[in-house]
Amino acid sequence: MSETRYTDQHEWVRVEGDEATVGITKYAAEQLGDVVFVEVPETGRALAQGGEAAVVESVKAASEVYAPIGGEVTAANADLAGDPAKVNGDPEGEGWFFKLRVTDKAQLEKLMTADQYAEFVKGL
């Protein structure tokens, strides 16, 4: 069973077994506007929770994407290089940024549930 958690920096992480998929939320994609460039981390890179993991650039701004939890990158979404608009079209699906092997599932407890994130966004 998968569970999705959210950060206050608008990243999401969906964990299935020992693998997590990471991307930015629909709210973040809407705030950025049209995404024109995405830089994803290389496979094998170790990421610490809260550490810089990727870069997303839009017509409005460039932003860092942070690792919601720590782990080792097992895959990067290479499709985003040729079609960064996938981030806008399906930010919490086909627009994922990278996958990682989870090192400490307890880190998920520090993140927001879907309901908590929805309330957080309402206050922005």
Q: What is the pLDDT of residues 65-117, one digit of tens each?
A: 999 999 999 999 999 999 999 999 999 999 999 999 999 999 999 999 999 99
How high is the pLDDT of residue 3? 85
3-state DSSP percent of the chain in helix, strand and coil, to 5: 25, 40, 40
* CATH number assigned to the domain covering 3-122: 2.40.50.100
Question: Which token pair is 20?
Answer: 């997590």
| Domain residue ranges of the chain, discontinuous segments joined by + | 3-122
Residue 2 pLDDT more than 90?
A: no
Mean pLDDT of the chain: 96
Reply yes or no on whether the pLDDT at 1 is more than 80: no
Closest CA to 91 of 39, 2, 24, 32: 24
